[in-house]
Amino acid sequence: LCVMAFVTDIVPAQILESPKLGTIQYHPSLLPEHRGPSSMNWPIIQGKNKTGLTIFWPDEGLDTGPILLQKETEITPDETLGSLYFQKLYPMGIESIIESVHMVKKGTAPKIEQDHSKASYEGWCQSEDAIINWGENADQIYNLIRGCDPSPGANTKIQGCPISFFKASLSPTKYESTPGTVVEISENWFKISALQGSINVGRVQLKGTPKIMADEFIKTNNLVIGDTFG
């Protein structure tokens, strides 16, 4: 039995079929939804409240093979890509792979065809996909930030310099300021106005530099209320 945990290439059929018991693969979404390489980012970005994992029998398609088992997990309102993976889908994946191997060994592992009519596919979630649109509502911006935390980082610009946001939180407080404007500065975060709410940012990364906490960014860049992002 061949077990594949994270595969970004389509493996040829002769390799998949060479083991006596076949090949099984872990995928961090509830197939057929979110086929593709960034299947953990997109459910968060899209504001969904659940996701999960699939152990399936890969074929020559892209995450299209028959399902062996699936397990669901909640996406909490403040879930990030990092917490979803390290606290949920990673440990769940280990348990599910072990469970699946035992099922294959016993001859009880099913092969359930996917409903391809319900399939969705997204490509890699890259920096260009994570540009903040300050014309969107605060909750949509927050979903983008947490779905790209820790990578690739939801990004915008300040004084023409690209900057990514991490360790953010959503605030219901509304301001009359233009979306993207710094409206409050605290010791450990700064708040940016948005439509129908605002965003607290606790960590940032200027392009080409390491990630730093908001307090360091505030001091070293002389951030003041009224500064704008976008």
**Could you tell me whether strands 2-4 and 212-213 are parallel, antiparallel, or unpaired per DSSP bridges?**
unpaired
Domain with CATH 3.40.50.170 in the chain: 2-118
C-alpha span between 158 and 161 (Å, rounded)? 5
* 98 contact partners, CB below 8 Å, separation of at least 6: none
- H/E/C letters for each residue in 106-166? HCCCCCECCCHHHCCECCCCCHHHCECCCCCEHHHHHHHHHHCCCCCCEEEEECCEEEEEE
Containing 97, the helix (H) or strand (E) segment is helix 90-106
* 90 contact partners, CB below 8 Å, separation of at least 6: none
Q: Of 3.30.310.220, 3.30.360.10, 1.10.1370.30, 3.40.50.170, which CATH number belongs to 2-118?
A: 3.40.50.170
At residue 149, the pLDDT reads 98
At residue 186, the pLDDT reads 96
Which regions of 11-126 does DSSP assign to beta strands (E)? 23-27, 50-56, 67-74
At residue 10, the pLDDT reads 84
pTM listed for this prediction: 0.95
CA distances (Å), 192 to each of 140, 209, 217, 230, in order? 14, 22, 14, 11
Q: Tell me the pLDDT of the chain (230 aa) as tens digits.
A: 999 997 878 889 899 999 999 999 999 999 999 999 999 999 999 999 999 999 999 999 999 999 999 999 999 999 999 999 999 999 999 999 999 999 999 999 999 999 999 999 999 999 999 999 999 999 999 999 999 999 999 999 999 999 999 999 999 999 999 999 999 999 999 999 999 999 999 999 999 999 999 999 999 999 999 999 99
Domain with CATH 3.10.25.10 in the chain: 127-220
At residue 92, the pLDDT reads 98
C-alpha span between 52 and 92 (Å, rounded)? 9
**Whether the Cβ atoms of residue 25 and residue 16 lie closer than 8 Å to each other:** no
Q: Of 3.40.1170.10, 3.40.190.10, 3.90.1300.10, 3.10.25.10, which CATH number belongs to 127-220?
A: 3.10.25.10
3-state secondary structure of 193: strand
Containing 93, the helix (H) or strand (E) segment is helix 90-106
CB crowding 119-149: b at 16 or more within 10 Å, else e: beebeebeeebbebebebebbbbbbbbbbbb
Which residue has tokens 């409240």?
A: 49
